[in-house]
Structure 1
Amino acid sequence: MKKIPFETCGDILSRFELSEEGAAIITPEMTPADGVSALSTSETIFDLINFFAHALPPREGLCWALSLLASAPRTSPDTISAQNTVRAWIDEPTERARRRCGDLAEAIGTEDPFGWLCNAVFWNGSGSIVTPDLPVVLPQPYLHAKALLGAVGLLAPLEDDERAAFVERVRETGHAVADGAWPCLEEGR
């Protein structure tokens, strides 16, 4: 997992709060790979999502989330634009695309995973989160990861049999990205 630059889970776990179930099965001394394995259960799916969101660098985390959203319904032209703009930002992180994601996040809202995904781009830490005519205000550390949790978390199925398959997709896609793959950029090429 070369894109997760930590020997142990300690630094990652300090960035978010685990559920009771997650805290009972993962320790700061575990390797990230062991942490992912431990959290890959239906009961700890949100801990697993949080783990990848906080462990991966912003671009890689966005690629992971966008790949998971590949089958999510596009409910408006803005969500189609969001998917394309996020992919463009991942491919080449420009300020113009980041700002466009901020606009799309406002238009789409947080009831839709693509709204959260656009917030993750806008809040990634590479630029100000206020209008360009105001003094620079950077987002809080790891705010983009909270938005990734919102985007991927909205996809989590309620039914146990569907949730187990989703856990596997989250884990497999996270492993692929952590190992250096860019599945969201490879789709459609």
Structure 2
Amino acid sequence: MPRLRFETAQDLYETYPTARGDVGVAASEQGSLDFLRSLSDANAMKAALSFCAYLLARREAVAWGCECLRQSEASRPADEIRIAAAEAWVNEPEERNRLRALDLATRSDPREAATWTAFAAGWAGGMAPIDGKHSAPSPQHATAQAIRVALILGGNALPAASRAEVQRSWLEGGMRFALA
């Protein structure tokens, strides 16, 4: 069996203190995938999606977020350019692709889920512009937070009757990425 990045939820929270607030559920010594399943079983979908975004490495998290939005009924043709920019970085994680995704995200509507997949790729390392003159290193947690936002927005755009089922399928995909 492949080794997970974080064996327990507590391990993840210790590495990413921001995850504590984003997930909103106290960590335990439970295995990461068991913790994720327990959140899903309790219908704590926002918490489960948030935890999974942190559980995955940045490249896998971006790939997972793009895959989820592509599978959903909420994805629109207008989202394609932002999702494609994020996927370009996943497929070829070079600085030019990261910066292209970041530039596209900053010029897009932050209320749209696909914008956040582009932010996730754009914040996956390197320097991020702060203003026209300065930049700073992208925080380690920024990609996870962006994927979290993308999937929460994407989930909110789904019909209420199918939302939980679609989000559970997203989580299954996230678990596959975690075990790959």
- TM-score, structure 2 length as denominator? 0.84
The Cα shift of 1:159 comes to 5.9
Following the alignment from structure 1 to structure 2, what is the Cα–Cα distance between the partners of residues 3 and 91? 23
Aligned to 2:8: 8
Residue identity in the other structure for 2:126: G
Following the alignment from structure 1 to structure 2, what is the Cα–Cα distance between the partners of residues 3 and 83? 29
Select the residue among 61, 73, 76 that pairs with 2:75.
73
Aligned to 1:164: 164
Residue identity in the other structure for 1:74: R
Following the alignment from structure 2 to structure 1, what is the Cα–Cα distance between the partners of residues 13 and 48? 11
Aligned to 1:56: 56
- Secondary structure, counterpart of 2:175 in structure 1: helix
Following the alignment from structure 2 to structure 1, what is the Cα–Cα distance between the partners of residues 167 and 95? 33
Aligned to 1:103: 103
Q: Structure 1 pair 173/112, CA: closer, same or farther in 2 (3 Å)? A: same
> Is the contact between residue 61 and residue 143 of structure 2 (CA under 8 Å) also seen in structure 1?
no
- Secondary structure, counterpart of 1:111 in structure 2: coil
**5+ residue gaps in structure 2?**
none
Aligned to 2:44: 44
Residue identity in the other structure for 2:76: R
Following the alignment from structure 2 to structure 1, what is the Cα–Cα distance between the partners of residues 173 and 7? 20
Residue identity in the other structure for 1:69: L
Following the alignment from structure 1 to structure 2, what is the Cα–Cα distance between the partners of residues 46 and 91? 27
Following the alignment from structure 2 to structure 1, what is the Cα–Cα distance between the partners of residues 37 and 60? 19
Following the alignment from structure 2 to structure 1, what is the Cα–Cα distance between the partners of residues 143 and 3? 17
The Cα shift of 1:115 comes to 0.7
Following the alignment from structure 1 to structure 2, what is the Cα–Cα distance between the partners of residues 164 and 73? 16
Seq. identity, %: 26
Q: Structure 1 pair 3/147, CA: closer, same or farther in 2 (3 Å)? A: farther
How many equivalent pairs are there? Answer: 172
- Secondary structure, counterpart of 2:136 in structure 1: coil
> Is the contact between residue 42 and residue 164 of structure 1 (CA under 8 Å) also seen in structure 2?
no
Following the alignment from structure 1 to structure 2, what is the Cα–Cα distance between the partners of residues 165 and 40? 10
The Cα shift of 1:153 comes to 0.6
1:123-142 paired onto structure 2 within 5 Å? 123-124=123-124, 126-130=125-129, 134=133, 136-142=135-141
Aligned to 1:186: none
> Is the contact between residue 129 and residue 136 of structure 1 (CA under 8 Å) also seen in structure 2?
yes
Residue identity in the other structure for 1:129: A
> Is the contact between residue 13 and residue 51 of structure 1 (CA under 8 Å) also seen in structure 2?
no
**5+ residue gaps in structure 1?**
181-189
Query: Post-superposition, which runs of at least 4 consecutive aligned residues in structure 1 deviate over 2 A?
Result: 1-4, 71-76, 133-136, 157-161
